[in-house]
């Protein structure tokens, strides 16, 4: 007969699962359903997905997780991201080698696709590749150099239109070895009508193709129909006429908006800034950089990647755009690889765990009534939880590495993850995955400092230096463990969309409401200055910049502006340039974009639309805001309560 304790534990687990199911089916736990702001968790497909997700988490907790890791999660010391994916061994995110897949064609598993012969076909296939890859993993999918990858297909379209022009205008035919490209200006003299016709037709086709891509990535569903692909595109450095046309078309169609003129939420767009390419008036892509500034003032995208930051130049080869720094929209960075693949396309992050710095600060800081913080005890405990976080990553990596190539399907079969196409279906993926990164993250540095020293890192130079030393020590730990395990173990400034309120809620239950620490509904994102702290934009940038080099798995900084920045693009430009000069690696500027539900006026709207007079009490206004590095539709309906509270608390940086 089973022991009473065993039966009791089994009954407890069954009640837990039953309660989860009831909460999901009846939409009783809205916070759970809104963990992912880009997923409509209250839809049928969202609920079905949530059923599977929550059971998978439950199974992983009770049957898969190492005991120490589970205890740390239960005690609010650590968080395991995407726990629902743990048991099956799927991976997080990847930079897709679009150049390779497009040039040779690919198979979706249901049918094969030939290499495209025009830019319109190529951009359509980019959307399909994004969708196929999204179904092979759980995190984001990104193109690190989309302008370079797509430029050859602009050339194909131009050549096709030029040959049509020769027929239309009865101009002399060219020999096969003559260069029919946009950049061959001799053609504009020898065949003016055909060249002009081909140029105009190619521009039109490229713009329509970009529009198709943006619309597809905001409407096509993946993940059992519950969410559109979590996509990012990086561009800005291709200086060929074809690449410039790609950049220009993407920016134009983004500014035009979707079907009713609304701002596209996806793909997350990142403009890559590089001196000598697009940062000075004499640079070939400077006009496109200014257009990116204009687009960001209107649509919040693109964000800006700093290729000139010293730590991003480490592996840079001017002849190879695949060595240019690029990022996932939320911040992931995987440029360096101790196994030699010091480029981006064909690899990504495998998984990450996040440490609750605030709880450590409360335990060892002055908020406990001590006059002197216990730094020795703090660092002892920090190292203990770093070990647990790493052990969890290694445990999960072993599950991921032993998976057969066929489990990753599209990703390995088509060589999206570099080298995967060389594996037999039953062969393990370990040799491929070792090139990815395992990341330890952190949250709430500001509240941790407040608990430890009575002030956060933007309130005291001394505390700021303590904060910088703390993150530097975490980076040293990751570097040392990389050497020890011969894996890419990295430090990430955690993108804390769903996590920001979870840690806080549990800590407040234990420690009570502590001013400046647990008295809000969220902890401050990674190393950021608290959103409620008043300071100038330049000061916030200068304070956060040194942390970027320490967070080699990725980081983002942003400032919050008031007013309609569309009318002050010069100020916007100056802020971006200042952030780049301070070696911020990845940067964006937040500003409110409100949209009237009646007349579709966009700008800053209070309770009443300034254009048509509609009152929000009668017709809801759509209020677009940024969370971490990406947009998530109307923050009032898609954000969880913690992120809504953070948005309300945000002060403007002058």
CA-CA-CA-CA torsion sign (231, 627, 293, 277): negative
Q: HSE on the CB side for 549, CA within 13 Å?
A: 14
pLDDT of the residue at 47: 64
pLDDT of the residue at 4: 39
Does residue 497 carry a pLDDT above 70? no
CA-CA-CA-CA torsion sign (257, 264, 335, 403): negative
Q: Which residues pair with 352 in a beta bridge?
A: 439
- Whether the link from the prior residue into 622 is cis, omega within 30° of 0, is no
Nearest to 137 by CA among 360, 417, 367: 417
* Alpha helices (runs of H) in 300-444, residue ranges in sequence order: 357-364, 375-401, 405-408, 410-413, 430-433
Distance CA 306, CA 291 (A): 17
Does residue 453 carry a pLDDT above 90? yes
Q: Reduce the DSSP state of residue 141 to 3 states and report it.
A: strand
Q: Give tens-digit pLDDT for 128-171.
A: 999 999 988 988 999 999 999 999 999 999 999 999 999 999 88
Query: Distance of alpha carbon 624 from its chain centroid, rounded?
Result: 17
Distance CA 138, CA 350 (A): 10
Q: Among 25-34, 65-74, 312-321, whose mean pLDDT is lowest?
A: 25-34
Question: Domain map of the chain by residue range?
Answer: 93-323, 350-557
pLDDT of the residue at 299: 92
Angstrom CA distances, 191 to 172, 200, 651, stand at 8, 14, 58
Q: Give tens-digit pLDDT for 93-123.
A: 999 999 999 999 999 988 899 999 999 999 9
pLDDT of the residue at 101: 98
Does residue 327 carry a pLDDT above 60? yes
pLDDT of the residue at 616: 86
Q: Which residues pair with 8 in a beta bridge?
A: none
Confidence of residue 545 (pLDDT cuts 50, 70, 90): very high
Confidence of residue 220 (pLDDT cuts 50, 70, 90): confident
Taking residue 52's Cβ as centre, other Cβ atoms within 10 Å add up to 11
Does residue 647 carry a pLDDT above 80? no
Stronger pLDDT, 427 or 52, i.e. the higher one: 427
Query: Average pLDDT of 472-495?
Result: 97
First to last CA, the chain: 71
Distance CA 445, CA 204 (A): 49
pLDDT of the residue at 649: 72
Q: Among 161-175, 213-227, 482-496, whose mean pLDDT is lowest?
A: 213-227
Distance CA 98, CA 142 (A): 10
Cβ neighbours for 617, distance < 8 A, ≥ 6 positions apart: 607
Confidence of residue 435 (pLDDT cuts 50, 70, 90): very high
pLDDT of the residue at 44: 58
Taking residue 377's Cβ as centre, other Cβ atoms within 10 Å add up to 12
Confidence of residue 373 (pLDDT cuts 50, 70, 90): very high
Stronger pLDDT, 252 or 592, i.e. the higher one: 252
Distance CA 185, CA 112 (A): 38
Nearest to 586 by CA among 138, 95, 232, 149: 232
């Amino acid at each position: 007969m089973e022991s009473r304790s065993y039966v009791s534990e089994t009954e407890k687990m069954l009640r837990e699962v039953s309660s989860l199911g009831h909460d999901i089916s009846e939409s009783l736990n809205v916070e759970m359903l809104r963990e992912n702001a880009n997923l409509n968790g209250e839809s049928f497909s969202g609920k079905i997905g949530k059923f599977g997700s929550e059971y998978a988490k439950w199974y992983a907790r009770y049957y898969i997780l190492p005991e120490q890791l589970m205890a740390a999660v239960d005690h609010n010391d650590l968080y395991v991201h995407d726990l629902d994916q743990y048991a099956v061994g799927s991976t997080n995110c990847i930079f897709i080698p679009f150049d390779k897949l497009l040039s040779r064609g690919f198979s979706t598993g249901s049918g094969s696709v030939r290499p495209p012969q025009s830019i319109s076909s190529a951009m359509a296939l980019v959307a399909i590749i994004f969708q196929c890859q999204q179904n092979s993993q759980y995190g984001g999918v990104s193109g690190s150099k989309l302008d370079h990858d797509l430029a050859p297909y602009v050339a194909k379209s131009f050549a096709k239109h030029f040959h049509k022009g020769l027929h239309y205008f009865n101009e002399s035919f060219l020999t096969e070895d003559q260069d029919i490209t946009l950049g061959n200006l001799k053609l504009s003299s020898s065949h003016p009508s055909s060249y002009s016709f081909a140029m105009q037709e190619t521009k039109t086709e490229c713009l329509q193709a970009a529009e198709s891509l943006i619309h597809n990535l905001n409407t096509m569903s993946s993940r059992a129909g519950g969410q559109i692909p979590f996509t990012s595109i990086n561009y800005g450095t291709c200086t060929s006429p074809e690449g410039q046309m790609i950049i220009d078309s993407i920016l134009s169609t983004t500014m035009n908006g979707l079907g009713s003129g609304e701002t596209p939420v996806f793909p997350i767009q990142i403009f890559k800034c590089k001196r000598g390419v697009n940062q000075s008036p004499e640079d070939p892509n400077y006009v496109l950089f200014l257009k990116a500034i204009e687009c960001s003032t209107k649509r919040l995208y693109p964000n800006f990647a700093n290729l000139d930051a010293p730590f991003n130049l480490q592996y840079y080869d001017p002849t190879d755009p695949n060595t240019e720094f690029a990022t996932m929209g939320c911040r992931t960075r995987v440029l360096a690889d101790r196994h030699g693949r010091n480029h981006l396309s064909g690899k990504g992050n495998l998984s990450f765990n996040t440490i609750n710095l605030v709880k450590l600060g409360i335990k060892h800081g002055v908020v406990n009534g001590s006059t002197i913080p216990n730094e020795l005890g703090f660092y002892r405990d920090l190292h203990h939880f770093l070990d647990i976080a790493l052990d969890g990553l290694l445990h999960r990596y072993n599950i991921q590495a032993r998976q057969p190539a066929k489990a990753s399907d599209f990703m390995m079969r088509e060589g999206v993850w570099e080298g995967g196409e060389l594996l037999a279906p039953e062969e393990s993926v370990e040799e491929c995955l070792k090139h990815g990164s395992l990341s330890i993250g952190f949250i709430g540095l500001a509240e941790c400092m407040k608990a430890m020293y009575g002030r956060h890192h933007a309130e005291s130079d001394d505390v700021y230096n303590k904060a910088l030393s703390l993150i530097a020590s975490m980076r040293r730990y990751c570097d040392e463990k990389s050497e020890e395990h011969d894996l890419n173990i990295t430090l990430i400034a955690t993108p804390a969309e769903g996590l920001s309120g979870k840690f806080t809620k549990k800590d407040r239950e234990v420690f009570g409401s502590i001013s400046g620490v647990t008295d809000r509904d969220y902890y401050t994102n990674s190393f950021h200055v608290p959103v409620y702290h008043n300071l100038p934009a330049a000061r916030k940038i200068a304070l956060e910049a040194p942390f970027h080099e320490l967070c080699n798995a990725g980081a983002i900084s942003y400032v919050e502006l008031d007013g309609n920045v569309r009318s002050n693009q010069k100020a916007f430009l100056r802020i971006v340039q200042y952030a780049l000069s301070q070696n911020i690696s990845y940067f964006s500027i937040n500003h409110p974009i409100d949209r009237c539900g009646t007349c579709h006026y966009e700008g800053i709207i209070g309770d009443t639309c300034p254009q048509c007079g509609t009152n929000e009490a009668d017709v809801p206004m759509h209020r677009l805001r940024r969370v971490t590095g990406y947009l998530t539709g109307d923050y009032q309906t898609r954000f969880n309560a913690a992120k809504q509270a953070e948005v309300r608390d945000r002060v403007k940086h002058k």
